[in-house]
Amino acid sequence: MAKLTLSSEQGIVNRAKKLAKRRRTSLSSMVTHYLDAVSGGEDPAGAVRLGPLTLKASGLLKLPPGSSYEDLLGDALADKHGIRS
């Protein structure tokens, strides 16, 4: 693996480190994923490459008729944050 040295404003670095900590990853890993995405590491259609476990799990669950992923996600987030109407 190659080493890369970057310079940035201290505030940006601090925010990025906090984000990396919240995501339980390293700043180096976040930068690597970003550089991979912007340098052509993504599918030409814009879809991110899926890892082997994600590919293996794809299609295991089917959505109920008449519902969408967005609906289910919205319901789950509302339940999680206690904002059900």
40-61 pLDDT tens trace: 765 555 566 777 887 777 777 7
> Are 5 and 28 within 8 A, CB to CB?
no
Q: How far apart are CA 75 and CA 64, in angstroms?
A: 14
Residue 48 has what pLDDT? 64
Query: What type of residue sits at position 10?
Result: Q
Is this prediction's pTM over 0.85?
Answer: no
Mean pLDDT of the chain: 82
**What would the pLDDT profile of 10-46 be if each residue is shown by its tens digit?**
999 999 999 999 989 999 998 988 888 777 765 555 5
Q: Indicate whether 84 pLDDT > 60.
A: yes
pLDDT of residue 63: 80
